[in-house]
Amino acid sequence: MATYVLIHGSWHGGWCWYKVIPLLERAGHKAFAPDLPGLGRDTTPLSDVTLDSWTDSVCALIDAQAEPVVLVGHSRGGIVISSVAERRPRKIAKLVYVAAGLLREGESLRQLIAEDGTSLTIPNRIMADDGQSATVRPEAIKEIFYGECDEEDVMLARLLLRPEPIRPAGTELRLTAANFHSVPRAYVECLRDRVLPPSLQKRMYSAVPCDQVFQLDTDHSPFFSAPRKLVEILTNVI
């Protein structure tokens, strides 16, 4: 039995893993999908949200587990799990990046996406007046995130997506060989992704090599569009 901690991406909350958790549990594992501060049902003011505060919240969760966890990050959740691995390398059995930001030392996710220039989030992002957060144009949500998903899941997401705090994605990661690079890594590449296109995903996992690379012929949201295939991968990384 393994313990999985599932970290959501931008605008989402722990709710996005609702199909994945029961499948992991039926396979005999434990699974947690927390809301990061400021997202999901968490009410932390967005002005207080930083990558450090997200890292602190995940560290507290894995510190409470008896054994090292499989720490899974989707999309922007990749920078969170990397940051946690730098802090708690011995509490993590495996890092799994699902169409996620896998960065090198000193990089920020915002910088990487801007340099690549192909993400559909770039032309469809709407900044809040106070500059603290951003949303996505409602008419573009399905095309960006959920191209292969059932309409029911698209409707659910439209109801639950929340403004994304700006600061974390602009934070440069501080990663060391002794901590972050000591933790085994796997990457799940999504071949129809419009947020982090496959060319960018490949660039990331080539620059920061992983022990295993898997491919899913899905959109950016395999937790909705291909949950069984995703769980099959997650249970094969350990």
Instruction: Supply the pLDDT for residue 179.
Output: 98
Alpha-carbon span 144 to 193, nearest angstrom: 8
Question: What is the overall mean pLDDT for the chain?
Answer: 98
Placement of tokens 């039926």 in the chain:
26
Exposed e or buried b per residue across 1-30, where buried means at least 16 C-beta atoms within 10 angstroms of its C-beta = ebbbbbbbbbbbbbbbbebbbebbeeeebe
Alpha-carbon span 140 to 185, nearest angstrom: 32
Q: What is the CATH number of the domain that holds 23?
A: 3.40.50.1820
Number of domains in the chain: 1
Q: Which domain holds residue 80?
A: 3-234
What are the tens digits of pLDDT across the range 153-210?
Answer: 999 999 999 999 999 999 999 999 999 999 999 999 999 999 999 999 999 999 999 9
Other C-beta atoms within 10 Å of 126: how many?
A: 11
The number of helix segments (H) and strand segments (E) in the chain equals: 10, 9
What are the tens digits of pLDDT across the range 222-236?
Answer: 999 999 999 999 999
Confidence of residue 127 (pLDDT cuts 50, 70, 90): very high
Instruction: Supply the pLDDT for residue 238.
Output: 86
- Distances in whole angstroms, Cα of residue 114 to Cα of each of 12, 118, 140: 21, 8, 19
By the 10 Å C-beta count (0-12 exposed, 13-18 middle, 19+ buried), 95 is classed as buried
Q: Closest Cα to residue 184, out of 69, 61, 63?
A: 69
Instruction: Supply the pLDDT for residue 85.
Output: 98
Q: What is the mean pLDDT of residues 83-96?
A: 98
Q: Where are the beta strands (DSSP E) in the chain?
A: 3-7, 30-32, 69-74, 92-98, 125-127, 133-136, 164-165, 185-190, 212-216
pLDDT of residue 35 exceeding 90: yes
pLDDT of residue 4 exceeding 90: yes
